Amino acid sequence: MGLTIAQKIIKEHLVSGEMRVGEEIALRIDQTLTQDATGTMAYLEFESIGIERVRTKLSVAYIDHNTLQSGFENADDHRYIQSVAKKYGIRFSRPGNGICHQVHLERFGVPGMTLIGSDSHTPTAGGIGMLAMGAGGLNVAVAMGGGEYYIKMPKMFKVNLTGKLQPWVSAKDVSLEILRILSVKGGVGAIIEWGGEGIKTLSVPERATITNMGTELGATTSIFPSDEITKAFLEAQGRGDAYTPLESDPDAVYDRIIDINLSELKPLLACPHSPDNIKSAEELKGVKVDQVCIGSCTNSSLRDMLRVAKMLKGKKIDDSVSLSVSPGSKQVLSMLADCGALSDILASGARVLECACGPCIGMGFSPNSAGVSLRTFNRNFEGRSGTKDAQVYLVSPEVAVASALTGYITDPRTLGAYEEVEMPEAFKIDDSAVVMPASPEEAKNIEILRGPNIKPFPETHPLENKITANLTLKVGDNITTDHIMPAGAKILPYRSNIPFLSKFCFAVCDENFATRAQEFKSNIVVGGSNYGQGSSREHAALVPLYLGVKAVIAKSFARIHTDNLINAGILPLTFANPDDYDKLNQDDTLVLDNLYDGMKNGKITLKVRDMEIPLEYNYTDRQTEIIKKGGLLAYTKGE
């Protein structure tokens, strides 16, 4: 039996375990990346492990999230990360150099290698044939130290593409179509491989848009073959020697096959407040638009920006619309300036923002009250934009520009003739904003620079055999990490200060949660299905840990958040019967007894009032030991 692309890479990097679906496997990691919203904590964790030098082939620390310096906090974090990078052998991508996923695709990604990053959209690098996965910061810290990355062997999905995208239809519409088919839960436990004759019509930036959005399916990762299109992209980046051909075997077996005819797709939008709430531009025409944002790691490539510039050239945006454009990297911005496309964008009335994540994570450019904002981003969770009642739609650059010009949601196919974008044969190479690490000898004398906002890792404790706790919060389905630990300009600067962050935990769901949790000291959270979807931010586990959350009971969990809970020493449990969720009330006193035996046999009984509710515990011996010791840091250090 032949192998899929992902199976080939897994086989090459397999350290332990068998490649059987659902079995835990350990992978050797070639590359890691961090960004500054999660990086400070990841490097504090790496320091705690006590290793003198990173042991990966390449590790890069990016500054792209917390670039708004309205106080000392972000600047201090950047200084800390740069000093850690210099000392421990990590490349440092300075603020302004660009969004981690865009820059990594351009300058560092290598087909066939493994990559984990402390950002859930790390699968973007699957666009050039990497096995790239989002992970919690502690997992990244362990990998930098030479440790394996553990996952359950995923299922394999194949999406066969036929035909060719029609004028005004783009890769973003492919992403939205697969979300329409599978939903935000449909990719859980799976790796999605893209193939078929249709992929030959897609450039690397288009492929990367699709693998980026695969995160919203809950997939472990998404991946394209490494082919002649990949080779041409790498050669244009001056990195032709990184090319390796990679494709699945003709007799590879998949758990599910999905067919999409690119020729039949039309411009789509994801409506508030979920990436899988899909409607066509035709259905939504005439909806008044207040704001348009173009950029993010999903749609900020040179190809995307040249398309935007071509559509805006000689035109003015509607007086009622505010338009922002964020190029994905210094390379993109510089090339836009050199060819005159940047002037076309500016002349339209658009505001050009820094090469950073910016509005995507609520870092500035929030919409007006109840405003309709069209964004070429990957998430439209409620409140993520920084405006709680904003109505955020996810769109392609084509729909974004068409709507900015008219002031209403507009199908770009109504604009008339479509002009192709011509890509340059070679990209402008300037890596001067990537600071190289010191040599091992020089590193001995480098001081780590810590600001006053940087606080220690939260205190952890070994798991007790019995937990008696208050049901401090009960929430519904599809609770995201944005619900648990919000982003935004007011909160993100405190990512290295868990005590301060705790004030905002679950504030989107219940503003009184943090106060209540501190009163009870021992707490349990109950959730619905797909609990913890979205960002890989481990703060959504570390902050509840600080507030005394001992366990989370849910109908089902998202993959990365499950890992983060276990890494924090928080017990994740699922209902044996999902209907039992309805039997629990907020502020119930819950008792979990005889946990050690229950974790061995996978069945734990929850006692509440006069009831006994069966729960399931489906984790490996290794994960059980991590939880018992109080988290991955204690486990790794052998405490």
Q: How many CA atoms lie within 13 A of 93 on its CB side?
A: 33
The pLDDT tens digits for 183-231 are 999 999 999 999 999 999 999 999 999 999 999 999 999 999 999 999 9
The pLDDT tens digits for 145-159 are 999 999 999 999 999
Give Cα 452 distance to the centre of its chain: 28
CA–CA dist 442, 637 (Å, integer): 26
Q: Which CATH architecture has domain 268-415?
A: 2-Layer Sandwich (3.30)
Which regions of the chain carry the CATH code 3.30.499.10? 5-264, 268-415
CA–CA dist 59, 111 (Å, integer): 16
Q: What is the mean pLDDT of residues 382-411?
A: 96
pLDDT category at 491 given cuts 50, 70, 90 is confident
pLDDT category at 266 given cuts 50, 70, 90 is very high
- Percent of the chain past pLDDT 70, that is, above it, reads 100
Antiparallel, parallel or unpaired: β 291-294 and 24-27: unpaired
Check residue 379 and report its DSSP letter.
-
**CA-derived radius of gyration, the chain:** 23
The three-class DSSP label of residue 500 is helix
Question: In the predicted model, what is the mean pLDDT of the chain?
Answer: 96
Residue type, 284: L
Residue type, 21: V
- Tokens 């699945």, residue located: 248
Antiparallel, parallel or unpaired: β 603-608 and 589-592: antiparallel
pLDDT category at 490 given cuts 50, 70, 90 is confident
Burial grade of 130 (CB within 10 A; 0-12, 13-18, 19 or more): buried
Given a contact cutoff of 8 angstroms between Cβ atoms, the answer to whether 177 and 265 are in contact is yes
CA–CA dist 618, 599 (Å, integer): 8
- Partners of 217 in the β-ladder: none
User: At the fourth CATH level, which superfamily is domain 5-264?
Assistant: Aconitase, domain 3 (3.30.499.10)
Q: Which CATH architecture has domain 467-637?
A: Alpha-Beta Barrel (3.20)
The CA-CA-CA angle for residues 389, 393, 399, to 5°, reads 145
Phi, psi of 527 (to 5 degrees): -135, 170
Check residue 112 and report its DSSP letter.
T
Given a contact cutoff of 8 angstroms between Cβ atoms, the answer to whether 498 and 568 are in contact is no
Helix (H) or strand (E) run with residue 25 in it: strand 24-27
Q: What is the mean pLDDT of residues 512-537?
A: 94
The pLDDT tens digits for 24-80 are 999 999 999 999 999 999 999 999 999 999 999 999 999 999 888 888 999 999 999
pLDDT, position 1? 84
Given a contact cutoff of 8 angstroms between Cβ atoms, the answer to whether 541 and 565 are in contact is yes
Reading the block at residue 181, the tokens are 């088919």
Which regions of the chain carry the CATH code 3.20.19.10? 467-637
> Greatest CA span in the chain, whole angstroms?
73
The pLDDT tens digits for 69-86 are 888 999 999 999 999 999
- Partners of 575 in the β-ladder: 615
Question: 499 CB contacts (<8 Å, ≥6 apart)?
Answer: 455, 546
Given a contact cutoff of 8 angstroms between Cβ atoms, the answer to whether 211 and 222 are in contact is yes
Over 70: is that where the pLDDT of 265 sits?
A: yes
The pLDDT tens digits for 591-617 are 999 999 999 999 999 999 999 999 999
pTM for the whole structure: 0.93
Q: How many CA atoms lie within 13 A of 424 on its CB side?
A: 16
Show the DSSP H helices in 214-340 as ranges: 228-236, 281-284, 302-312, 330-339
Q: What is the mean pLDDT of residues 239-267?
A: 98
**Span between the terminal Cα atoms of the chain, in Å:** 44
- One-character DSSP codes across 472-498: EEE--TT-BHHHHS--STTTGGGTT-H
The pLDDT tens digits for 352-377 are 999 999 999 988 899 999 999 999 99
pLDDT category at 639 given cuts 50, 70, 90 is low
